[in-house]
Amino acid sequence: MKRFRADLHIHSLLSPCGSLEMSPREIISRARSKGLDMIAVSDHNSTWHCELMVALGLEAGITVLRAAEVTSAEDVHSLVILPDEASTRSFQQWIDSRCAYLPHNPVIFGDQVVIDRNEHIIREITYFLPAALKASIDEVESAAHRHGGLFIPAHIDRPAMGILGQLGFIPDDLYIDAVEVVGNPGDILYPVIRNSDAHIPEHIGRRFSEYLLENPSFTELAKALRSEGGRQIIHPER
């Protein structure tokens, strides 16, 4: 087994908070320059750049995992990382069925565009992607696992949009694969990982975690979060 460096929370220009510089090609280029072996594109309540990112990653020798940063009805952000194209497509349909479809103002919040590999805009999203879904945190967790994915509450030590800041506690009945932290996790009983939550190119890889794996893949990551078969999280970048 080998060490692999991963940043699993990166926003593309599809997220309104993401810089228009965060094209899939630019993300791949920056990830390579930072020595990352595995990344995940995790836009707000959307997976529409995942397949392009996976294809570009294959060409560049970087593993790209399919993911989304999902906002529950309680305004809790969680990463959902998915195993394959079919499960991602189905999970997006689940998100769409619970979306609030609030009008989006790009002048205030930023553009929300889907682009192709030639960086041509092929779709503009007219509703506000980060808006809370009509689904509780329990329902998000259940949907993630029903689709074969990993459920990881995001930036739990931030005062806003993290599970501790929004709820004040972590419900015992949630099946949590790991938690993402920004700083010192304190007394957390779950596997802890760090990611950049990058919205601009310069932030890609500013935080990352290293994993001991057979290869950089969804299956191996899932085993590492469970400390299965010698796979493990080596250490988060501090």
Cβ-based neighbour number of residue 214 at 10 Å:
15
First vs last Cα of the chain: how many Å apart? Answer: 23
What does the pLDDT read at residue 235?
A: 67
pLDDT digits (tens, 9 = 90+) for 56-70: 999 999 999 999 999
DSSP one-letter code for 63? E
Structural domain boundaries enclosing 80: 2-236
Give the model's confidence band at 236: pLDDT under 50 very low, under 70 low, under 90 confident, else very high. Answer: very low
Percent residues over pLDDT 70 in the chain: 98
Mean pLDDT computed over 155-164? 92
- Give the separation between CA 59 and CA 117, rounded to whole angstroms: 12
d(CA 128, CA 215) in angstroms, rounded, equals 37
Does residue 238 register a pLDDT over 60? no
Give the pairing type, strands 63-71 and 38-44. parallel
For residue 40, the domain's CATH number is 3.20.20.140
Contact 66, 50 (CB under 8 A): yes
pLDDT at 185: 72
Helix 85-97, helix 50-60: angle, nearest 10: 150
The structural domain count of the chain equals 1
- Length of the chain counted residue by residue: 238
* Residue 156 and residue 178 in contact, taking contact as beta carbons nearer than 8 Å: no
Q: Please provide the average confidence, as pLDDT, over all residues in the chain.
A: 95
pLDDT tens per residue, range 166-213: 999 999 999 999 999 988 777 788 999 999 999 999 999 999 999 999
CA distances from 184 to 52, 84, 156, 192, 233 (A): 34, 32, 11, 10, 16
pTM of the model as a whole: 0.96
**What mean pLDDT is predicted for residues 40-60?**
97
How many Å is the Cα radius of gyration of the chain?
Answer: 16
Among 42-46, 99-103, 156-160, 175-179, name the one with the lowest average pLDDT: 156-160
Sort strands 38-44 and 2-10 into parallel, antiparallel or unpaired. Answer: parallel
Torsion, Cα of 15, 141, 180, 68 (10° steps): -20
Average the pLDDT over 8-35 and give the result.
Answer: 96
Contact 9, 180 (CB under 8 A): yes
Mean pLDDT value across residues 12-40: 96
Give pLDDT, residue 187: 77
What residue has token string 């007394």? 187
